[in-house]
Structure 1
Amino acid sequence: MMTSAAKNHSVVHAWAGLLALTGLSLVAGHSHGHAQWMPLLVAALIWIKGTVVARYFLESKDAHPFIVWLLRLFIAFAPVALLITDGLCLYRC
């Protein structure tokens, strides 16, 4: 079991990581705009950020395996939907 100080320390690192990923997405969006690979980068960032939130703020590592599976499915939904809709747009547009 983690002490309160160690738990707070890991949450601070997770928060800093989320801020860094947000900064990365802003820089990539500003510098590369509508690049064809941008939806893949955005989907990856959404998935990574969702995983960090689930692990450190929802404490999914301590949850029942079914809840963990459900969270993974929920977290994967948005990136997969983004990639599918982007693929459909590339195909039709």
Structure 2
Amino acid sequence: MATYSIWESRFPPEAAERGRTITKAIWQDMLGFDGYLRHELLVDADDPGHLLVVSQWTSQAPADAALRAYAGHPNAVAANELVTEPRRRIVANPA
């Protein structure tokens, strides 16, 4: 059964476009990780700096491995520097 890794990011209005660009780059990079299946980037219709990424992985283990391996990548660091609050991740399984 596939696992979902859901990320939430909040960028200030002046950094919304840059945050979206960095988020897209992060998820392009995920294509190279074992176990990655797909993702969708969602933008809050009322707040363009509020992003959700819903990604699908073969299981939680490869999603966790990608998280650890990517933590120091310049794109992850840049995203963390731009957000107004820490980015959040939850891992979920279909009911």
TM surpasses 0.5 = no
More strand by share: 2
More helix by share: 1
Q: TM-score, normalised by structure 2?
A: 0.33
Higher relative contact order (CA 8 A, sep 6+): 2
Q: TM-score, normalised by structure 1?
A: 0.34
